[in-house]
Structure 1
Amino acid sequence: MDAYVTAAPGGGGGDTGAAGRAAAAKLLPAAERTRDAARSADWTAAAEAYRAVVNGWTPAERGIRGDNPAVYGLLETKMSLLRIALQAEPLREEAALAESEALVALLSGYSEGKAVDTGGAAAEPASIEGLISYLNQASASAKAGDSPAAAAVMEQFITAWPSAEGAVQLASPKVYANIENESTAVTGYLLSDPPKLAGALEIMDNMLAELTPLAGEQTYTAWDAALILLREGLEAILVLAALLAYLRREAEPAARRWVWSGAAVGLAGSIGIAVLLTYTISQAASGGARELIEGIAGLVAVVMMLTVGRWLHGKSNTAAWNKYVDRQMQGALAKGNLWYLFFIAALAILREGAETTIFYAGMAPAIATSQLLLGIGGALAVLIVLGYAIIALSAKLPIAAFFRTATALIYYLVFRFLGESIHALQVAGKIPAHAESSLPSIGWLGLYPTWETFVPQMLILAFILWELLRGRQASRRMRTPNRLTK
């Protein structure tokens, strides 16, 4: 069914509607000159008049878009199709005349406040992913030598562009400006006689490289947020439980308050770091800086998680863990310095808190606030129950299973954070993006179809597998008794 809208339904109110209609009225004379020149086949005059329409569009588009987005989108489409017809080689005279007539009719009806048939322009908004799909289809047709089919798909791209351009402009004003020009240029190449397929494919490849980093935003969920706090919090609880259990075993009950005091100071320090980092990021994050900060924080988190992952893997058997705790505590008690116990507990909690803060700093720009709070709240509830059971009730925790599970989660987040962080830097324009349609695109794994994200992730995957294999071999050697050979 065709969608009919009047000049007012854009939701901008009476003042906005008047401003939008006035802006359209200012464009109308140049559009009429373009149409009149096309009727008389004076294509030089038509091109000159069309340039006047384009020059007048920049100050007019805001008012029209605010009053009636459907009319705005249709105007952009008609102008693009007119430009394509005028720039094709040879010039597409019939199409240029038809589009100039349509442009005048649309501007005239809208500026006079008449009902305007948008022909479906008010349909569900397109997405950046949808634009990329159109480009891939057009590119495939062009590579097969089917220029008319590729041009038809590009006209679909141009029709969908107005409802997706806002997301592109928000993410990258530079890409927004480039795509507006490139989409008409590539269509003109495809419609030329003979078609300029090489030029069209080159521009489409560039458009894909520009749009691909902007797609697939906001993929983190409450579950991802909970995983981080659960892992870090459970490790902190485990450290405290081990310290307190050792003191009970060594009949040092008075020393326990030093451990608890250190833990409290470490927690306070973690909260302070979180507040400082949150304030710093909120002051710096605007426009492209948001993606830049997200990318840098994510890469820092990747380095930290790799370090933590290796440490956890080295403690993934009970004997190694007990040996580690005993060594730390024996050193403290041997020195007779209870402040050392304080610092061990404080640094343990502070390290976990600082890591958690860094991880959330890398994740926060790409997760809804409600999801972040839900994940943190759920993880805290679980940690309170586990902490009471482990510390107060002396519940036994399977150390080896915990560390193996935590290591797997850490390596999953390493892989994903790496892809998301490079992707964020691509959006910020700090890293190039060479798109390849055959590469996988999986949001929950942080996989994007660009070589700049894919290659580093494959390298880190190889490193993770090597680490796991090396750890398994080391564990097998520890379990195998030494044998004397003759």
Structure 2
Amino acid sequence: MIKFRYLLTFLVILVGLVIVRPVLAQTPSGADQLRALARIAAEGEAAAEQQNLTLIQAEYEEAHDHWETFEDGIRAQNPSAYIEFESALDAVKASLETDPVDAFMVGLAYKHLEVEAITIADKLGDVPLATPAVVEATPADLMKALNTAYQEIEAGETAEAAAALNYVSQAWPSVEGAIATKSPDAYNAIEVDLSRAMAALRTQPADLSSAEAAIERLRESLAPFVGGQTYSMFDAAAIILREGLEALLVIVALMAFLQRSGHNDKRHWIWIGGAVGIGASLVVAVALNVVFNYAASGQNREVVEGVTGLVAAGLLFYVSYWLHSKASIHGWQSYIKTRTNQALAGGSLVGLALLAFLAVFREGAETAIFYLGMASAISLQDLVLGLSIGIGILAVAAILMFKVGVKLPLRPFFLVAGLLVYYLGFKFL
């Protein structure tokens, strides 16, 4: 249909194959990561002794960036150790923010950081640091879970409160990037208080008063971020419905053209190509999801989500342009006739199947990109309901078109689909 869209799909798959390879690499242990941080802290201490302020700052940034790559795993494995290291790292940051900077105090802070890193590494041992499962959620979902945890603590239900906090811990990486970008102070406060609440519930006996106080602070820190741009069940249904109807329209048009041109015996090749296209679309969706979760960890997530949203918006606007160009019956029939004649002229029935495959696969790949673009701002319930409604309507439309012979009015369809695409495109922006 559009060479640009084929090229975009190809590039997405190619980048995915390049990026997904590191996912298979073995994750180093938390102790190894902490020992690496201890070496960075020692370098920072040496820079402080030399009173090299530029190098002192650079060592802190290196330590901070390295810590962000595995801090979620440490928090899940040992919340108390997480708090201890965060406090030591914050002490280095505070010593660098004095005016003028006291190199001696910075050196002491780096020394403390080095000792904490080594102590915690010895405490954790060389057990591989598992990457915590990330649950897709919105700030509103986290607030709901925090409210549940608070209520369970007031009722004395420690296990239920711990389960709610565990959900918050797993869902936090999906929103931390956006919060860190808007308010680094709120981000740091949430990181520390979440670990304090989890650690308080793990003590024997559980320190319910400390956990309750930490959760209350968490709710206050998170409150400003609840709300904002979100997607609804309607948006989720609109994407699968629009993309699915376009693919269905192509398949129906190909079938009709084969029948009119006396090639009705070749219709099964259309079905084969369409089925393979659906399978390939599912594979791409899974692959993109794996790549997205790997590349969008921590504060990088905000960048990846932003880029994905922009790509989705650009693609939607381009699709709208294409829909407008095919809004007339003559334009649509000319498009289908040209494509089908090219496939038949090749003398290979595989070309016919390829045409159907590309029609379905193209829409499936686009659908995957669109859903990735909205994933961070839609609840799981709305996503599932929207998908279910959209697929249900598609199934009814397919039965009506293939079994009953109902014809979809092309011009109204393309015009409505174009308006819908513009609506979604602006929402992605």
TM-score (norm 1): 0.43
Structure with bigger RCO (C-alpha 8 Å, 6+ apart): 2
Please identify the structure whose Cα radius of gyration is greater: 1
